[in-house]
Structure formats: C-alpha cells, structure tokens
C-alpha cells in the first residue's frame, strides 16, 4: 500500500466520496434485512443492497440534529451477515463533509452493528487510512483512486466517474439546506425545489439549468428575475409541476395544457396556454396577462390576469362514430332476466349495497361486522354478508348470455342507513362515503373475494366500479388493494373503473383517468352536488338535466378524453329514463349509458336508430 502520511478528516472530498458511494448503488437499494447501526436504527431512510461478498446498509437524508444539514451514513460489511469478517461505519454531513469512520462489531442478538469500543479511541492514523480505503473498495471504488483522493491529487467526482455505469457518470449530487438534488449534466432529474430561491441555488455547472418536471417538483419554487436562464420541460406530465409559481422569466417551449396541470396561483410569462375552459385551476387564480393561445393571440384579461374571453367547445367533446351501448341496472335475478328480455347490451350497474334494502336487522349486523372485520384475518365465506353478496351475484348470472357486468362496490349514504335503521349512525368513519372502502378494508377484501369466487364458478367476468371517486390518490390506493386481493385468489386482468359523482372530483379527473380502466358518470349524485337538490324519484324536475349539470358532464368527458382518448366513458343514473336527456347523451363522446330495463328499447332507438332491437 502506498504510504500516506496522514488522513485529513476535514478534507471535504472524503465526505463527498461517501455521498458518491450512496449514488454508486442508487437503483439497487431496497427493503432488505441486514444488521443496522444501533444508534440510527429506525431513523432516516434505511435500505440495503447485497454485494458479492457482503452487504451495505445506508441511511441517506438522515437529519443530523447537531447541524442544520443532512447526514449520509453507510454501514458496509464483508462476509456472512451473522458473522462478518469486517465491518465499517462511514458518515458525512452535507455542507460540513467531515468524515467519521469506525470499525463495527455485531451486538449479542446479531441484529445490529455497534461501535467496536476497543478500537474506537485507539485507532492510529494508519489504521484509519487502511479502514477508509478498505471500506471504499468494498463499496465499489478503485483502491488507487481512493489513495489519490487522500493525497488530494484527485477529486471525489473523478474517482466516482472511474467506476460508475456509463449512464450514471454525469450524475451530480447537490445538497442545499436539508435537501438533496440530482442532475444529469445540466438536467435536474430528482429533488424538491418547492420554496427554494433559485437565484441562490448552487448549480454545479455553467450551462442553462433544465428542470424535468416529470421527475422533479417545482411547485412554489421562486423563479425570480435572476432565474431567466432556467428552462422547464415535460410540464404537462406532472399535474403539480407549476402550481403557485411565477413563471414570468422561465423558458417553456411546450404548449401548456391547463386540463393536465394545476395552475392555481401561477403567473405565466410569454407562454402558449390552452384548454382554459377545462382548467383544473379556477381561472380567477391564474394570471394569463402575458400568455397566448396556440396561434399566438393574447387572451383578454383584467389587470390581475383574469381571463374574460368566451370559449368554444373543443372537438374532443364531439360524438365519434360508433354505437352507444345501452346497459341495464340490475340488482337481482328478476332485474337481470328483465334486462335479457329487453335485449340490453349488458348490465352496467349492480348496486351491491342493495342486498340490504329494507333489511333492518341484517343492516344492523352488517354495521357491527364492518367495524370488526380485519384483513389480517382469513376470509370467512360463510358470514351473512358474504352469503348475501354471493347470492346476489349468482342470481344475476342466471342471465347467462349477458357477458358485460359492472359491479359497483358498496356505496351507502347516510339517508340510506337512517331510512332503514330509523336512526343516524354515530361512527365517524361509517358515514364518510368517500372513505368507506378505505376505512373498512375487511369489507373491500370480502367483496373482492366474493366477486372472484362467483366469476370463477360461473366462468364469467365482472368489471369493478369504485364509487364516489374525488381524489386520484384515493382511487390508486383502492385499486391497488383490489388488484392485490384479487390476485391472492387467482383472479387477474380485472377492469377497475372510477365513478365520478361530484363536481368536487373535476379538478382531479386528469389524474384519476390516468389510472382508471373506465369512467362512469353518476348523474344522480352529480345533480345533487351541482344543484343542491335531494334526489326524489317522484320529482321529475330533479331528473331534468340543468345547464350547470351538463357543463359538468362535458367537463368530465373532456378532461378524461384529453388525458386518455381510448378510455371508455359511461353515464349512469335514472336520468336515462327521460327521453330529452338521452337525446342530449347522443351528442356526447361516450360509450354507454345505463337505464331501467323498460327504457332499453326506446333508448336504443334514440341512440342508434339503425340498430334492430330484439322483440
């Protein structure tokens, strides 16, 4: 080994080597069990990677409470994890870059590493040098390069580039305050810039900074007058990319689609902006005084940037060629056979909560069951709930020639329970319709179990509809659980749709549509949401679509098709039992409607006049 007179623990390049050691393995880290450093167990982001001769545990972005910065801590060992031949602790704090290195030993339970007390305060300078070089070689660096860094003849960046994969050679790690950012050459590819004054940011290059909005967060970043050299790309790929941001001096070449990005609190510069009529953000919260349309024409705005121009309907709303299918609503075998007799194209809405219609005692028992069923318990297919659900679906399957069947998961409303039980339910979670499936995982799991069981027994398929979706994260969460529960019992390739029933969902439609297999617009609840009127089957005025409700329907269709032109869209609700509404539906870019069986023939004649209906 080349003789090195002294290790300088204040040499910032040594601290940077530890950060580069983390970067060297980025993409490989995962939740893998290795002994962790006792003092930091459970702190920061604790991930591991298995090496050829041992393993690595890292704690990146751990808050060092003795400073205002972040620490990168690495434990590296060689040999078996329960009996390593050697193990080291390396630590550096961003901004200070003072190195710490210790030898490690296993605790008696062999679950944690701890400092080797015997050597902690007795290591000679040469031992520290040997340990540091050995640890760096174990992490993947070249021994001769580490020696040159120690002698201050090579930078940590150069040592890293000599061993990094080709696609990682130009990646630079930058720390600013308690945040860490990654750049590939001059392109920001990872990091959260929200709240950061970018004229003070320590860009590690001379070229024009480019922020890839599909990979970094720019929301609420401060692009002031000294940030004119910054360019944003892939803005439309991230709904949250430019919210609460002044973009006056920022370069953006792409046309910004307000149906795809939330521009609440955003001030645009000389950028091209489209789809204002379907803006996710309220236009009174968007400053467009400098912006133009696709043809370069300025928008007519007030002094505060509020748009005052009238809009034209986009062609994405126009009816495309093709048949609009007419599905039936069916909750039991009689309704299913009625749908078959009236030549329905399918069953578009199976209301699973209707197994409890007028069943006071059964609903009381279900309330108790819902609050005492947990996913860690095995499914009991013989519970009253599962038997009722199973019976409903088996009965509907008697209409064997109907292949399309859409099952809506539980969608109870407070008045439903109050009507059946005669009292309001007091549970905080129970009446939160939006969160019902999320709060009661046991019910969700049991429903999917029963749907899968019937599908396999009847050799049929069911599409699954998640009710009252207003939030993309909620839908993603529920859909992931559905897929997981279904796969546990061997059911794959489910189509899972989102039911949009509230005007509150409209700002999130673009994000929801990215993850949904189909969209169903529930006109009953949507009408309540828009007009404030309560549904009453005897009130024909309620089922007359107002202009405000129509605007919401068109907005939902536009935002959905704008993000996914191939997605199927349907309209559910008793509004389809009224001919004037069906005439309106005919003009929309939709794929199906649902209605009562007795209206199937007339609706088919209105929607598809050349189609022959079975007598």
> Among residues 341, 472, 462, 461, which one has the least CA distance to residue 399?
341
CA atoms within 13 A on the CB side of 281: 25
pLDDT (tens digit per residue) in 328-361: 999 999 999 999 999 999 999 999 988 887 677 7
* 571 to 168, 513, 536, 574, 595: CA distances (angstroms): 49, 15, 19, 10, 9
Is residue 358 domain-shared with residue 498, that is, in the same domain? Answer: yes
Does one domain contain both 239 and 350? no
Q: Pick the residue with more confidence: 408 or 437?
A: 408
Cβ atoms within 10 Å, residue 598: 11
Question: Does the pLDDT of residue 273 top 90, yes or no?
Answer: yes
Q: How many residues does the chain have?
A: 615
CA 190 to CA 221: how far, in whole Å?
15
In this predicted structure, what is the pLDDT of residue 186?
Answer: 92
Alpha-carbon distances, residue 405 vs 357, 401, 478, 515 (angstroms): 21, 11, 20, 20
Q: 458 lies in which domain range?
A: 325-607
pLDDT, tens digit, 9 for 90 and up, residues 128-140: 888 888 888 988 8
Residue 25 counted as domain residue? yes
C-alpha span between 239 and 252 (Å, rounded): 16
pLDDT at 145: 94
Which residue from 426, 419, 436 is spatially nearest to 370, judged by alpha carbons? Answer: 436
Within this chain, do residues 502 and 599 fall inside the same structural domain, yes or no? yes
Within a domain: 318: no
Q: Band of the pLDDT at 459, cuts 50, 70, 90?
A: very high
Tell me the per-residue pLDDT of 149-189, one tens digit each, with 9 for 90 and over: 988 899 988 999 999 888 888 888 787 776 778 898 899 99
- Which of 162, 181, 200 is the endpoint of a domain? 162
In whole numbers, what is the pLDDT of the chain averaged over residues? 81
Residue 355 · residue 389 · CB < 8 Å: yes
Which of these three, 312, 339, 362, is where a domain ends?
312
Answer yes or no: is 1 within a domain: no
d(CA 246, CA 224): 7
Q: What is the mean pLDDT of residues 56-67?
A: 53
State how many domains the chain has.
3
Do residue 365 and residue 457 come from a single domain?
yes
What pTM did the predictor assign? 0.56
Rounded Cα gap, residues 185 and 517, in angstroms: 38
Asked if the model's pLDDT at residue 420 lies above 60, the reply is no
Residue 319 lies in a domain: no
Query: What's phi and psi for 251, nearest 5 deg?
Result: -85, 125
Q: How many CB atoms lie within 10 A of CB 202?
A: 8
Same domain, 105 and 231: no
Q: Is residue 613 part of a domain?
A: no
Which tokens hold the place of 23?
């970067």
Predicted pLDDT at 122: 72
Query: Which three-class secondary structure string do you get for 375-414?
Result: CCCCCCCCCHHHHHHHHHHHHHCCCCCCCCEEEECCCCCH
Contact 82, 110 (CB under 8 A): yes
The torsion angles phi and psi of 66, rounded to 5 degrees, stand at -85, -10
* pLDDT value of position 612: 56
Position 614 confidence tier, pLDDT thresholds 50, 70, 90: low
Judged against a pLDDT cut of 80, whether residue 372 lies above it is answered with no
Do 132 and 180 lie in a common domain? no
> Measured between alpha carbons, how far is residue 137 from residues 76, 88, 118, 183, 342 in Å?
10, 12, 24, 25, 76
| Paired sense of beta strands 216-217 and 210-212, if any | unpaired
Is residue 194 included in any domain, yes or no? yes
Would you place residue 310 in the very low, low, confident or very high pLDDT band (cuts 50, 70, 90)?
very low
d(CA 465, CA 201): 47
- Does residue 102 share a domain with residue 124? yes
């Amino acid at each position: 080994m080349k003789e090195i007179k002294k290790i300088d623990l204040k040499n910032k390049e040594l601290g940077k080597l530890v950060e580069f050691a983390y970067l060297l393995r980025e993409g490989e880290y995962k939740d893998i069990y290795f002994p962790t450093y006792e003092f930091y167990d459970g702190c920061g982001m604790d991930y591991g990677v298995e090496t050829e001769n041992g393993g690595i545990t890292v704690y990146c972005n751990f808050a060092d409470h003795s400073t205002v910065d972040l620490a990168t801590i690495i434990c590296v060992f060689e040999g078996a994890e329960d009996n390593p031949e050697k193990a080291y602790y390396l630590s550096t704090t961003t901004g200070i870059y003072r190195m710490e290195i210790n030898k490690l030993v296993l605790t008696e339970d062999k679950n944690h590493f701890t400092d080797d007390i015997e050597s902690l305060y007795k290591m000679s300078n040469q031992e520290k040098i040997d340990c540091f070089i050995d640890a760096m070689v174990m992490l993947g660096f070249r021994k001769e390069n580490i020696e040159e860094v120690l002698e201050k003849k090579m930078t940590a960046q150069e040592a890293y580039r000599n061993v990094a994969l080709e696609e990682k050679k130009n990646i630079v790690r930058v720390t600013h305050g308690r945040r860490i950012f990654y750049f590939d050459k001059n392109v920001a590819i990872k990091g959260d810039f929200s709240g950061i004054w970018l004229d003070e940011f320590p860009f590690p290059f001379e070229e024009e900074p480019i922020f890839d909005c599909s990979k970094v967060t720019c929301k609420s970043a401060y692009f002031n007058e000294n940030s004119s050299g910054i360019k944003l790309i892939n803005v439309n790929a991230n709904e949250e990319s430019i919210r609460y941001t002044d973009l006056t001096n920022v370069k953006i070449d792409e046309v910004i689609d307000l149906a795809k990005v939330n521009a609440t609190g955003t001030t645009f510069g000389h950028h091209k902006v489209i789809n204002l009529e379907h803006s996710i953000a309220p236009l009174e919260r968007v400053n467009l005084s400098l912006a133009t349309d696709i043809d370069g024409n300025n928008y007519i705005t007030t002094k505060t940037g509020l748009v005052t121009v009238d809009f034209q309907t986009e062609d994405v709303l126009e009816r495309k060629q093709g048949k609009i299918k007419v599905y039936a609503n069916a909750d039991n075998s009689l309704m299913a056979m009625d749908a078959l007799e009236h030549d329905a194209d399918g069953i578009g809405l199976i209301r699973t909560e209707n197994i409890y219609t007028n069943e006071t005692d059964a609903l009381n028992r279900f309330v108790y069951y819902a609050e005492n069923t947990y996913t860690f318990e095995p499914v009991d297919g013989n519970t009253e709930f599962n038997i009722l659900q199973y019976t409903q679906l088996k009965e509907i399957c008697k209409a064997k020639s109907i292949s399309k069947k859409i099952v809506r998961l539980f969608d109870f409303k407070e008045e439903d329970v109050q009507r059946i039980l005669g009292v309001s339910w007091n549970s905080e979670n129970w009446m939160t319709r939006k969160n019902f499936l999320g709060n009661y995982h046991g019910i969700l799991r049991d429903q999917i179990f029963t749907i899968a069981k019937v599908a396999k027994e009847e050799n049929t398929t069911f599409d699954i509809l998640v009710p009252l979706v207003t939030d993309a994260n909620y839908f993603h969460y529920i859909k992931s659980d559905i897929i997981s529960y279904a796969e546990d019992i061997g059911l794959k390739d489910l189509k899972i749709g989102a039911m949009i029933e509230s005007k509150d969902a409209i700002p999130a439609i673009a994000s929801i549509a990215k993850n949904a297999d189909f969209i169903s617009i529930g006109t009953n609840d949507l009408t309540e949401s828009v007009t404030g009127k309560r549904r009453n089957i005897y009130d024909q005025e309620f089922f007359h679509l107002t202009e405000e409700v129509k605007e919401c329907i068109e907005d939902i269709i536009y935002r959905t098709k704008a993000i996914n032109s191939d997605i199927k869209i349907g309209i559910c609700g008793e509004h389809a039992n009224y001919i004037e509404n069906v005439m309106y539906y005919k003009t929309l870019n939709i794929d199906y409607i649902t209605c009562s069986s007795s209206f199937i023939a007339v609706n088919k004649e209105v929607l598809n006049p050349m189609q022959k209906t079975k007598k």
